[in-house]
Structure 1
């Protein structure tokens, strides 16, 4: 019988991810921000900003040695102008989403 050398002996595991954290609206210091990320139950964190990854880059470039979580850059785009009907203030097709990439 073949020996099982798999790294994944438990099968699937669910992990908490938080992919919507805006560092500029945090209001505290980056040290406190990173401490709170490290203390959170989320194992993966998305650093979110509108149309840019500059906040993510600033955190990673200056504080990478303190970060104990997996971080991803998350770019948020406002789709309101694209989705609004030109003759009406209602969204086309009843779409009610805040789109994130």
Structure 2
């Protein structure tokens, strides 16, 4: 799930994650990458970019909530990174289904 969840309405995000993770078999990988929550200026850069290119003012995803939800579904976190990219920044989580 790469750079998608912030485009999903907040009330539908859990279902979107559930739909994605149910397709991952035992031993399989679920990848979550999205915009960083902080610092503010990186988040703002993403918001402006999305407003220009997709016409949406998006709301950031709470990475900790996604992480907790995916772990509760039987996955383990195997990689966690915050990736700065000039004005932007991404959060990356890699999970493996047990």
TM (norm. structure 1) is: 0.37
Higher helix content, 1 or 2: 2
Greater relative contact order (CA < 8 Å, ≥ 6 in sequence): 2
Higher strand content, 1 or 2: 2
TM (norm. structure 2) is: 0.37
